Structure 1
């Protein structure tokens, strides 16, 4: 449970930084506590999408991922972010991704932030 909570918080930070970097393409609406709540809800949706949908998409796109030497993974990540935006809209959560290019740039930012945070955070594996 602790590991899941840390993943959600890392995703939340990554998504928020993506909204700051990709200003016109990835956006949260709200201020103060409402904004923090929205970011956490979107991070939870993003985590669920990456847990349940992303593996299926990766399985069916294995051939094209192999042919592109793994670069198609960036497209999959962008699609997962875009899907998170569409699911958020369905639940009236104020998170928007404008288009595919914004999703691609946003997913790159989320991935970069997650890599940095996972490198900085202590590893709880037993040695």
Structure 2
């Protein structure tokens, strides 16, 4: 349970940092970031595998680069379902999904070494 809470907080912090860096992404409150992080987990667990399965031919033809599009669509979907979390366009979602992944990976690695 503790690992789930740490992951949720790390993802929320990653979303807030991403919103500060990319001007097309806005998150109003930390509560919106927490809700967004929870929805992000649900989307990555349920919707993303289905999208990957349905877009497998495009992913194979693009040598895996189409997975960036799938990640951007998932990030955009999270913003759609989260109040006070806005993504203005596809490229903002694309760069936001990449940045959230990088920041949360770094922070998760930092917290794993700290404990």
Mapping of residues 22-101 of structure 1, within 5 Å: 22-23=22-23, 25-29=24-28, 35-88=29-82, 93-101=83-91
CA RMSD of aligned residues (A): 1.4
1:122 aligns with 2:109: no
Task: Measure the CA separation in 1 of the matches of 2:57 and 2:110.
Answer: 34
TM-score, normalised by the number of residues in structure 2: 0.89
CA shift, 1:121, in A, is: 2.4
Per-residue CA deviation, residues 14-52 of structure 1 (Å, 9 max, x unaligned), is 1111101102x11012xxxxx121111111111111111
Misfit runs of 4+, over 6 Å: none
TM-score, normalised by the number of residues in structure 1: 0.82
Determine helix, strand or coil for the equivalent of 1:27.
Answer: strand
Note the residue ranges of structure 1 that are not aligned, 5 or more in a row.
Answer: 30-34
The aligned residue for residue 32 of structure 1 is none
Bigger helix fraction: 2
Task: Measure the CA separation in 2 of the matches of 1:2 and 1:61.
Answer: 34
Greater shift, 78-87 or 8-17, is seen at 8-17
The aligned residue for residue 5 of structure 1 is 5
Question: Which structure would you say has the larger Rg?
Answer: 1
Note the residue ranges of structure 2 that are not aligned, 5 or more in a row.
Answer: none
- Number of aligned residue pairs: 113
Is contact 2:7-2:108 (8 Å) kept?
no
